[in-house]
Chains A and B, each alone.
Chain A
Amino acid sequence: GENVEQHPSTLSVQEGDSAVIKCTYSDSASNYFPWYKQELGKRPQLIIDIRSNVGEKKDQRIAVTLNKTAKHFSLHITETQPEDSAVYFCAARFGTASKLTFGTGTRLQVTL
């Protein structure tokens, strides 16, 4: 069935370093891959998304890469700042379904 695995579950980096979070998906028909950021006590917010016809997308300090052959996609955050501390969720949409399948989340802690 549809499955999205996310690693690591927790990640601690020093301010200014880069952070990478990886997700794998099970269904090769997946065509849409968003990333959501959820700060403590707040709602999840979309930060970047990518479609299956694109291999990489960048928005300032964040980027997402997609490897369709290997069925994995990654979130890259460069020059991390304390306000990047949050839980990050990857997700995948399978075909034209209305359903997003989410990963279990990565708690990122950016230390000074």
Chain B
Amino acid sequence: ETGVTQTPRHLVMGMTNKKSLKCEQHLGHNAMYWYKQSAKKPLELMFVYSLEERVENNSVPSRFSPECPNSSHLFLHLHTLQPEDSALYLCASSLTGRVGEKLFFGSGTQLSVL
């Protein structure tokens, strides 16, 4: 297992549920990212945190709410999702100074919204 761990690996939720995705990195990185991976689409950047400050919010609907309490942990809080939000959600980390470069990805959370 690499240094970026995501839980849970799989998640099924209804449209009215509230759930959270968790990401933890042990690489000494201080930039963390949420990406969305859908079938036949490019990886889409959702959020970037650098030194625990959100530096990128890529026009993501408010039903997705990120939280970065420290440089090792990143959460994605989910509420009132839509079926089209079903996708693989990937967390990544990197070093500041090279933000956006040499991303280390987690294994992802496969999310299904019913």
Contact = CB atoms under 8 A, between A and B. Distances in A.
B99 interface: yes
A82 B76 CA distance: 36
B105 A43 contact: yes
Interface stretch (B11-19, B48-56, B64-72, B78-86): B48-56
B103 A102 contact: no
Interface string B24-63: 0000000100000000111111001010000110100000
A16 B105 CA distance: 29
Contact of A102 (B42, B104, B106): B42
A89 B43 contact: yes
Interface string A26-44: 0000001010100000111
B100 A97 contact: yes
Which of A93, A98, A103 is most buried by chain B, counting CB atoms within 10 A of its CB?
A98
A34 B99 CA distance: 13
B interface majority secondary structure:
loop
B42 A98 contact: no
Contacts of A32: 100-101
A30 B28 CA distance: 27
A81 B42 CA distance: 25
B42 A104 contact: yes
A98 B55 contact: yes
Interface of B: 2, 4, 31, 40-45, 48, 50, 55-56, 58, 90, 99-108
Interface of A: 4, 32, 34, 36, 42-46, 49, 89, 91, 93, 97-105
21 contacts: A34-B101, A34-B102, A34-B103, A43-B90, A43-B108, A44-B90, A45-B105, A46-B102, A46-B103, A49-B101, A49-B102, A91-B43, A97-B56, A98-B31, A99-B48, A99-B58, A100-B43, A100-B103, A102-B43, A102-B44, A104-B40
